[in-house]
Amino acid sequence: MFAKLIKESFPQDEKAGLYRTPNLPAVKLGKILRKEKRIASPSDVLAMHLYSGMFSSGAIIFTADRCFYEDGAFDLEEVKDCQVKDDHCIVLVNQKGQLVPHKLSVKNEQVAKTLKKVFDAIAYYDPKSEALMQQAAKKYEEAGFKDGELNWLLLRDEVMRTIDMLYERYNDGKLSILEYEDKKAELLSRL
């Protein structure tokens, strides 16, 4: 579900220990997967970060729908936020109705910031919305709309979906009525 996003947003930087397909180091991946029994096949691995310190080393591994690390694993679909503290990423994951922090050791503050960007992209990614956008674009093209008209219709649909999402956040108590109305007015002014 997140394969395309991971391939696009995860950087390839061998000096920092960041690898993504098709440039995964086969020998290192093989050694990790011998210990890591939760991943069925090397072809499931889309990206990984290898780190080593004075007394420890490890890996953070991304598959199409999960993230694995030394002390656990979590579904990427449930990622809600990521924070950086020194050389650690703290990923907040929705598990059983509450946010559970997963502390990922990366041994480098710059790499932690890079991984934060990846986790933020995952947290804000909505595959259902993207599929709807593609279906709408196809439908509009089949109906014979020109590019300018198509862009306006896509913008209108996206604005309406965003207003619906804001209304849900208002109903959940995450937005005040004033914030909701301000953001709604701002979005509608773009049309």
Domain boundary among 97, 124, 151: 124
Q: Are residues 87 and 132 in the same domain?
A: no
184: nearest Cα among 167, 126, 173: 167
Q: Are residues 136 and 101 in the same domain?
A: no
103: nearest Cα among 71, 55, 62, 65: 71
Taking only the tens place, the pLDDT of each residue in 36-75 is 788 888 889 999 999 876 677 889 999 999 999 988 999 9
Judge whether 60 and 69 are in contact, CB under 8 Å: yes
Taking only the tens place, the pLDDT of each residue in 118-168 is 999 998 887 777 777 778 778 777 777 666 666 777 788 888 888 988 888
48: nearest Cα among 12, 88, 81: 12
pTM metric for this prediction: 0.67
DSSP assignment string, 129-157: HHHHHHHHHHHHHHTT--HHHHHHHHHHH
Q: Are residues 113 and 135 in the same domain?
A: no
Domain boundary among 78, 97, 124: 124
Domain range enclosing 132? 127-189
Taking only the tens place, the pLDDT of each residue in 143-152 is 776 666 667 7
**CATH number of the domain that 55 lies in?**
2.30.29.30
Q: Are residues 51 and 82 in the same domain?
A: yes
User: Judging by beta carbons within 10 Å of its beta carbon (0-12, 13-18, 19+), is residue 64 exposed, middle or buried?
Assistant: middle
Q: Are residues 114 and 171 in the same domain?
A: no
Task: Tell me how many domains the chain contains.
Answer: 2
Give the confidence band of 12 by pLDDT, cuts at 50, 70, 90. very high
pLDDT at 57: 80
